[in-house]
Chain A
Amino acid sequence: MSNAVNDIAIVGYAQSPSWRASDLTEPQFLFPVISEAIERAGVERREIGFTCAGSCDYLSGQTFAFVMNLEAVGAWPPISESHVEMDGAWALYEAWVRLQHGDIDTALAFGSGKSSPGVPAEIYPLQMDPYTITPLGADPVSLAALQARAMLDAGKITEREMAEVAARSRKVAVGNPYAQVAGEFDVDELLASPYVTAPLRKHDLPPISDGACAIVLATAEKAKALSDRPVWIRGIDHRIEAHQPGMRDLLSSESTRIAGERAGVGDAKVDVAELSATFSHQEKLLTEALVLEDSVDVNPSGGALAANPVMAVGLARFAEAARAIAERGAHRAVAHATSGQALQQNMVAVLEGD
């Protein structure tokens, strides 16, 4: 990391399962996730100095839904808290910045979303340029399909390679209790299925998911007191590209490249990378932008193709990267989150064990 910053560590993390449609309310399924993250961190709930949430009222279809989510935190007597209308990874970033002030020693970040009540293909075009893009009904699948088509035409990937990413993700997800899509799939059979939006088939798309993730951060001194195995955030950065897809080069992810360089991905060997490759072809763009070697274990959780609780899926990459270090013997891991369409905005963090 180029800027002088205070070391911050992940000391607790928890996720809900990823459901196609949960009959619990968002605060109801957030409740045990937040409690588990806090318990694993070993802090008292009332000691937490700052709380930041990531969620999207358009997904819930309810004005101020994010206020209801605070009921799962415990906000009386009043607490110091904030909210981002973004993935929980950006809530973590705000919490990380807040901890840099040095006057508090712990922070809670969480992300949650219910994609099941609405129709994602109708909701997401509303976040695009309202004059030229929204009326086209440009949803994430359509824009990702344009990106995949550009990659295929440029010879950067094949449909078989895309299916191989999906098959591998679903296979490793068998070992992930939070995954929604998991199992053994034959690549030839996957390729025999029809297109959903050409050139994307169903396996190239993420599932529609409900779910939540929570992470507790601590300053260095506090982390050492709380945990035998703190997971250090050695570098973190996020960059954004133009909103208008026509102004971007869809064949590379420049914002990921810059964020990865600034987070220090290339400074030492990477064991594990948890990438928010929401569509199968995006994994290649991300591994290229981050200059990850073949030896890196990419998305051992199954990634976003196995579980895609929008607004939590990026933060879940942090939780999974931390889990790889704290529970599975990895030393250095990369966590990546994305926002916007076709990898418009990207966050990259480098996590390390002691």
Chain B
Amino acid sequence: MSKAEPTEAVDPNAPVTGMDYFMQLDYHELVCPSVRRYRSALIDGKLIGHRCPKCKLVYVPPRGYCPIDTIETTDADEVQLVDRGVIANYTVVTPVQYYGQEETEPFVRVSVILDEPGGTMSLQDVVDIPVDDVHIGQRVEAVWLPPEERDISEIGNRSWGSADGAITGWKLTGEPDVPPDQVPGSAF
């Protein structure tokens, strides 16, 4: 679980002011049934979600309940989604070089609101869109890996709508931007 390694030569007479303690915990979680179906769909090049029978919001991946209406959802509430939509929000991440950080250059993560029947893909990567050009209202479509290269093994219960291993990111469709105040669910 843990190992303590001196990081530099220590003067044996100096007072102890701190100690290094490196630790690691491993977790092995079973993937829940609704996410298992989501993963299978990704292998087939499809996106699925659960639509709340009351408020009609679509959750990606299918979650098993609507937290707003506190209604359980089942396979009967499953809907197939489209892989096109609009960038509803984005964050440019400037990596801080903390221990374990692998990113060195600024990168962007976008939220894509899918076209009807809806659903939100959050924390998505973009393909061929410079970080400085990303903005709300851009029309995008998913860039799928070839079927033989798809690997959904990294998608678990806590992947927050990730399609990593099946969709590399989202590229511009070439359609005109949606005005920000017309983006579905827009707060602007």
Q: Do A and B come from one complex?
A: yes
Give the docked Cα–Cα distance between A74 and B33 (Å): 22
Given A25-B32, A72-B65, A135–B158 Cβ distance below 8 Å? no
Question: Quick one: closest A residue to B30, CB to CB?
Answer: A23
Contact A28 B65, beta carbon cutoff 8 Å: yes
Contact A126 B23, beta carbon cutoff 8 Å: yes
Given A25-B32, A74-B67, A130–B72 Cβ distance below 8 Å? no
Which one of B30, B65, B69 contacts A21 once the chains associate, using CB atoms below 8 Å?
B30
Given A31-B65, A71-B67, A25–B72 Cβ distance below 8 Å? no
B33-64, CB under 8 A of A: which get 1 and which 0? 10000000000000000000000000000011
- Contacts between chains A and B (CB distance < 8 A), count: 71
Give the docked Cα–Cα distance between A27 and B73 (Å): 13
Which one of B25, B29, B32, B70 contacts A28 once the chains associate, using CB atoms below 8 Å?
B32
Residue with the greatest number of chain B CB neighbours at <10 A, chosen from A62, A74, A75, A137:
A74
Q: Chain B interface: which of A117-125, A170-178, A196-204, A233-241?
A: A117-125
Contact A74 B26, beta carbon cutoff 8 Å: no
Contact A137 B26, beta carbon cutoff 8 Å: no
Q: How far is the CB of A295 from chain B (nearest CB, A)?
A: 43
Residue with the greatest number of chain A CB neighbours at <10 A, chosen from B4, B21, B31, B157:
B157
Contact A24 B26, beta carbon cutoff 8 Å: no
Contact B70 A45, beta carbon cutoff 8 Å: yes
Give the docked Cα–Cα distance between A116 and B29 (Å): 7
Residue with the greatest number of chain B CB neighbours at <10 A, chosen from A31, A58, A75:
A31
Q: How far is the CB of A62 from chain B (nearest CB, A)?
A: 6
Question: Quick one: closest B residue to A126, CB to CB?
Answer: B23
A100-141, CB under 8 A of B: which get 1 and which 0? 000000000000001011110011001000110011010000
Within 8 A of A (CB), among B65-105: 65, 67-70, 72
Given A123-B25, A131-B19, A137-B1, A74–B70 Cβ distance below 8 Å? yes
Which one of A23, A75, A119, A134 contacts B32 once the chains associate, using CB atoms below 8 Å?
A23
Which one of A21, A32, A62 contacts B72 once the chains associate, using CB atoms below 8 Å?
A32
Chain B residues whose CB sits within 8 angstroms of the CB of A76 once the complex forms: 67-68
Give the docked Cα–Cα distance between A73 and B70 (Å): 7
Which one of B23, B64, B157 contacts A31 once the chains associate, using CB atoms below 8 Å?
B64
Q: How far is the CB of A20 from chain B (nearest CB, A)?
A: 11
Residue with the greatest number of chain B CB neighbours at <10 A, chosen from A21, A71, A134:
A71
Chain B residues whose CB sits within 8 angstroms of the CB of A131 once the complex forms: 19
A1-39, CB under 8 A of B: which get 1 and which 0? 000000000000000000001111101100110010000
Chain B residues in the interface with A (C-beta under 8 A): 1-2, 4, 19, 21, 23, 25-33, 63-65, 67-70, 72, 157-158
A-B contact pairs, 18 of them (CB 8 A): A23-B32, A24-B32, A24-B64, A27-B65, A27-B67, A32-B72, A45-B70, A71-B67, A72-B67, A117-B27, A117-B30, A118-B26, A119-B1, A119-B26, A122-B25, A123-B25, A131-B19, A137-B1
For the A-B complex with A28-B63, A28-B64, A31-B65 known, give 4 more contacts whose Cβ atoms are closer than 8 Å: A24-B32, A74-B67, A117-B28, A134-B21
The 6 A-B residue pairs whose C-beta atoms are closest, nearest first, are A71-B67, A61-B27, A74-B70, A23-B30, A117-B27, A117-B29
